[in-house]
Each structure stands twice: as C-alpha cells, then as structure tokens.
Amino acid sequence: MSRRFVRVRETYASGRGPWKISRLIFSSIASSPEKLSTSPPRRRGRRRQPECDGGPLNEALVATFPGGWSDVREEIKKHAESLGFARARVTTPEPSSRFEQYKAWIEEGKHGEMGYLAREDRLARRADLDLILPGLQAVICTMTLYWPGKKGFPPASSMHAAPSSTTLGPSPVRPGHSASKKRGVISCYSWGEDYHNIITPRLKALAEWMHTRYGGRGRWYVDTGPLMERDLGERAGLGFVGKNTLLINEHLGSGTFLAELLTTLPLPPETPRKKSGGCGKCRRCISACPTQAIHKDGYSIDARRCISYLTIENKGSIPIELRPSMKNLVYGCDICQQVCPWNRWSWPDNQPKTLFSPSAPSSPSTPPFLPPSASSLKLSTPVLADLLRALKSDAGFMKWFTGSPITRIGRARMLRNVAVAAGNSGEGGGREGEEGEDGEELLAVLREVWEEENDEMVKEHLSWAIQRLEGEVESEEAVREAER
Ligand code: B12
Ligand code: SF4
Ligand code: SF4
C-alpha cells in the first residue's frame, strides 16, 4: 500500500461569488480492500477529519447479493447496530432543503459567538457536501441514545430547575416535590463519559469494516462537522424535527446524539418521512423554556438566549437579565426535552444500546436506570458549595470532571456558571429546615472563592451571586427576627 499527499482544487460558490482553494489531502492507495488506511496523522495547526480509504469498489462482492447495493445497505445498518448505534439510516448527499433558513439565522446573529457556524468555507460545505468528501454518494445517519429515562434521573429532592406544572416527560421534579437549594443541575448528556470518545471509535469501526469489505472512501463526524445533522437525519427517516428544534424519533424520543458517516459507496437512500408535523398543536417546550429562547412558533432557537449556549458555548459574561432564569442549571439544559411528550414514551428500559448512565457511563449493556450513587450525583447534581471550592484550581476542576465533556469548557467558565446557580439558590423553595443555612454556607464559600479568584469575568459573576445572596440572607434573617 502506498500513501501520498494529493493536492485537490475546490471551487466554492459563496455569496461573494465562486472562489477556489487548493489544499493537500492525504490519500491512501490500497491495492486490495484489506489493505486499508484510516485516520491519517493530524497536521499541526489544522484539524483534519478522519478519512478511510478502501480502494476501488468491490462490485464482485456486491453482485453476490440478490438485492445488490440495497442488501449491502441493510447489512451495513445491521453492523452499525451491532456496534452500539441505536439506529442507522441512509440518505442522499444533497444539502438540506432548509439551508436558506440556516443562512437567515446566521444573518440575524442568532448564533451568537459560535463564529464557526458562520465561516464561509463551512457554509460552502453545508451547501455542498461533496466539498467534504469528493465523490460522495450517500450519508449514513446514526443515532445514539443517551436519555436516562424516568428512573435514571436523580431524586427530585436534589433538583429544582425543571418546571413542574408543564412536566410530562421524565422530569426530575414533579409537582408537589420539594427541591434543594444546595445543588446545581448538569444536563444528562454529560453525566457519563464524553460522547465523542464513545461514538468516534464506533463510526471509525463501521467505516473500516464497510470500506474494507466494499471498497470506497468514507469520512465521519461526531457533532463537529459542517453538516445540518437534524435535517439529514429527518430526511433519512430517523424521526422528525420538533418545535424544540431537535430531531425526535418516535420510539427513542429526542435524547439522542446524531453522527454521520459520509461514503462514496452508492447506497440507495431510504424513504424519508413524508411530513414532519409530529408536534401537532403541542407547545410545551415553547412555554417551558425558562429564557424564551425558542421562537414563539417553534422550530427555531435564538442561541444567545439558550441556557445550553450561555453555559457551554459562551466564553464571556452571561447577560445579567438572563441569570435569574438560569436557576441552578450549571451546564447545558434539558428542559425543552423533559417536558416533551415524545420523551415520555422513550424509556430506554429495553434499550441495551443506551450508553450514558451516571453510574456506568460507557457500558452499552448497563441498564440506564441504576440508582444514583454519591459519585454519580457529583456529576449530575453537584453540591454547589463543594463544587465552588473544587473550582478554585484547575487541578480541582480536572479531578471533578475528568472524562466528562465538561472538561472542554475549562475551569473559569464552569465557575462562572456555578456562581450564577449559587446566586439563584435563594429562590425556588428550599427543603424544609434548610432555609437560611444553605444561603449562609454558600455565601461564605462564594466570598472565599472571590478572594482567591484572578479572572475578572468570573469575579464579576461571583460578586453578582454574593450580592444576590446577601439580599436573600438578610431578608430571611429579617423574617426570622420578626418571627421571634
Ligand atoms: C449550534 C448548535 C447548538 C446551539 C443552537 C441550537 C439550535 N437549535 O440550533 C446551542 C448551543 C443552543 C445548542 C443547544 C443544544 N444542543 Co446543539 N447543536 C448545535 C449544532 C452544532 C448546529 C445546529 C445548527 O445548525 N443550528 C442552526 C439553526 C438554524 O438551527 P435551528 O434554529 O434549530 O433551525 C433548524 C430547524 O429547526 C429547521 N427548521 C426551520 N424551520 C422549520 C420549520 C419546520 C416546520 C420544521 C419541521 C423544521 C424547521 O431548520 C433549521 C435548519 O436546520 C448541532 C450539530 C449539527 N452540526 O447539526 C448540535 C445539535 C443540534 N445539538 C444537540 C444537542 C443534544 C443539544 C442540547 C440538547 C444540549 C443540551 N442538553 O444542553 C441543546 C438543545 C437546545 C435546543 N433546543 O436546540 C444535538 C441534537 C440531537 C437531536 N436529537 O436533535 C445536535 C444534533 C448535536 C449532535 N450531533 O447530536 N446546540
Ligand atoms: S435547552 Fe433550555 S434554554 Fe435552551 S431552548 Fe431548551 S429549554 Fe430553552
Ligand atoms: S414539547 Fe411538544 S411542541 Fe415541543 S417538541 Fe415536544 S411535541 Fe413538539
């Protein structure tokens, strides 16, 4: 097998007219499918997506199947499931029919600081997937379930972020339950191991297996690619895009990660759903969103208002007017999924392919609803005072979150988020007998952390929290005083 770099010329049609670039790609020439090259070495300063090259198509093998490439597609889907994907379906390489909506969204600035979404070269790739993988014939869209199901959420007493009156789904807080002021809430997709570390090897294994067998080339993406993943998934028949903008599978709900394998194998596309309207008249996600990030008619998000953006993507200060609505959500947000009726039926009790349980993050066969342990609560509903103390140092941050996708945002952003939750902890009804104590303890820790913190942006959030709690503690003291 010989390997070489090849210079390719690409022409992009962008708003400013066509322009050309040339770049080096690593190409592997394999004399037989067995001699396969994958994942060429990364070049410094430039992130390359994995590529897999199995050489010429193995038409002789395909001819042995009565249904030809359709049978091959079914075999590939089965193999994908055996690797742990909950679903895999195939669509055409055409761009999303909603590309114009995407561009309008960018022009309105709704992507906030996520500049990569607006980059011209990435827009060009979104509009023409052939630029990502020349000769592309099909896209294999996969779904991996992470939703822990009703029994997978920590006890209601440890959470107070979810709305109660609108809750239908596997909400951690049900009407009538008290809630803790002491804890923060982390989105359930991050309770386990970083999903990139789990899904990427699976996609790579799928690509290697199928390109070794049938030849052709492949390239895969887990979240990071310039693809309109939900639209491709919808077209492949994985589900429908709901008003909360997420791709909802009729059996699995929306608590799934999407990931794609682009291939030059001529796999026939599957029949897409004829209509997307699975929401009917429901508007629960729109009403439940604490920051009104979802458009009043649904199907579009203003990322700048979304708590997921504010706590994860946003590198700077969190707008003061939005902080109180964030309650105790310290990383991501599940609310528009918790209230969705489609997630009510998506208990993964019979889904051995679920990956993400707080107690056993990466075992595909572990039931997802293990009783939460002390260590799992640290990753799902951490005690704010303990986390604040840990976040005084990078070492403390890494110790708490090693292996979790949360390490991607770094200590400062996480401390900023936890400060906001601490500032909000005076609200929302605490557990009986704990009023006042929580606030006083948190106040002391916040002051201690403020003293030692050097990052001005983080200090401002700590000050905000201190001021808010000072008011709260003072008013609680006044009430107690009045009662004496
Ligand atoms: C940027 C981004 C974000 C941003 C913006 C979210 C958004 N909705 O766009 C922020 C940071 C806020 C975010 C948050 C989350 N994200 Co995100 N995110 C992305 C990313 C990287 C790009 C999304 C994008 O292109 N947005 C562009 C704008 C234009 O999209 P939009 O406003 O939703 O509009 C689209 C649709 O609604 C549709 N549409 C428009 N009009 C109409 C009309 C009708 C009738 C219909 C049917 C559809 C429709 O077309 C538009 C263009 O696609 C994708 C991965 C990817 N490459 O696709 C993951 C992705 C969408 N995120 C994902 C997840 C899990 C989340 C969170 C749940 C994480 C969390 N728990 O905190 C939240 C959910 C928030 C929400 N309700 O969307 C998953 C969703 C999986 C799924 N089953 O759908 C994805 C696919 C990542 C992945 N690989 O798994 N995310
Ligand atoms: S993730 Fe939370 S903040 Fe974002 S749209 Fe959904 S409910 Fe609103
Ligand atoms: S909560 Fe209702 S409106 Fe929102 S996505 Fe689910 S079904 Fe659709």
Bridge partner list, 91: 139
Tell me whether residue 392 is in a domain.
yes
pTM of the model: 0.85
Closest residue CA from atom 65 of ligand 1: 257
- Please report the pLDDT score of residue 86 as a whole number: 87
Tell me whether residue 377 is in a domain.
no
Residue, of 372 and 134, whose pLDDT is higher? 134
Within 8 A by CB and 6+ apart from 105, the residues are 111, 300
pLDDT of 367 over the 90 cut:
no
Gap from CA of 334 to ligand 2 centroid (Å): 7
Catalytic site residue from 130, 223, 349, 386: 223
Q: Which of 174-183, 248-257, 354-363 has the lowest mean pLDDT?
A: 354-363
- Please report the pLDDT score of residue 434 as a whole number: 43
Residue range 431-456: average pLDDT?
79
pLDDT of 255 over the 70 cut:
yes
Number of domains observed in the structure of the chain: 1
Tell me, using a 6 A CB cutoff, whether residue 473 lines ligand 3: no
Is 438 an active-site residue? no
Gap from CA of 246 to ligand 1 centroid (Å): 6
**Cα–Cα distance measured from residue 327 to residue 427, given in angstroms and rounded to the nearest whole number:** 8
Tell me whether residue 57 is in a domain.
no
As given in the structure block, the two tokens for residue 179 are 């809630």
For the chain, what is the mean pLDDT?
79
What do you get for the CA distance between the two ends of the chain, in Å? Answer: 86
Closest-lying ligand 1 atom to the alpha carbon of residue 248: 83
Ligand 1 site residues, Cβ closer than 6 angstroms: 96, 98, 101-102, 105, 114, 117, 187, 189, 223, 227-231, 241, 244-247, 254, 256-259, 276, 299-301, 303, 306, 308-309, 313, 332-334, 336
Within 8 A by CB and 6+ apart from 40, the residues are 3, 26, 28, 48, 51
Tell me whether residue 420 is in a domain.
yes
**Cα–Cα distance measured from residue 202 to residue 302, given in angstroms and rounded to the nearest whole number:** 32
Tell me whether residue 37 is in a domain.
no
Confidence of residue 193 (pLDDT cuts 50, 70, 90): confident
**Cα–Cα distance measured from residue 195 to residue 221, given in angstroms and rounded to the nearest whole number:** 12
Range of the domain at 445: 383-484
pLDDT of 416 over the 70 cut:
yes
Residue, of 170 and 471, whose pLDDT is higher? 471
Closest-lying ligand 3 atom to the alpha carbon of residue 243: 5
pLDDT of 207 over the 90 cut:
yes
What is the distance, to the nearest Å, from the Cα of residue 221 to the centroid of all Cα atoms in its chain? 13
- Please report the pLDDT score of residue 182 as a whole number: 83
The ligand placed nearest to the CA atom of residue 312 is 1
**Cα–Cα distance measured from residue 73 to residue 80, given in angstroms and rounded to the nearest whole number:** 10
Tell me whether residue 183 is in a domain.
no
Residue range 2-8: average pLDDT?
33
Tell me, using a 6 A CB cutoff, whether residue 310 lines ligand 2: no
pLDDT in tens, 73-96: 999 999 999 998 889 999 999 988
Which residue among 147, 171, 244 has the greatest number of ligand 3 atoms within 8 angstroms of its CB, and so is best to mutate?
Answer: 244
Tell me whether residue 227 is in a domain.
no
Tell me, using a 6 A CB cutoff, whether residue 244 lines ligand 3: yes
Cα 90 to Cα 137, 354, 442, 459: the distances in Å are: 10, 21, 51, 49
**Cα–Cα distance measured from residue 162 to residue 339, given in angstroms and rounded to the nearest whole number:** 9
Tell me whether residue 480 is in a domain.
yes
pLDDT in tens, 105-132: 999 999 999 999 999 999 999 999 999 9
- Please report the pLDDT score of residue 377 as a whole number: 80
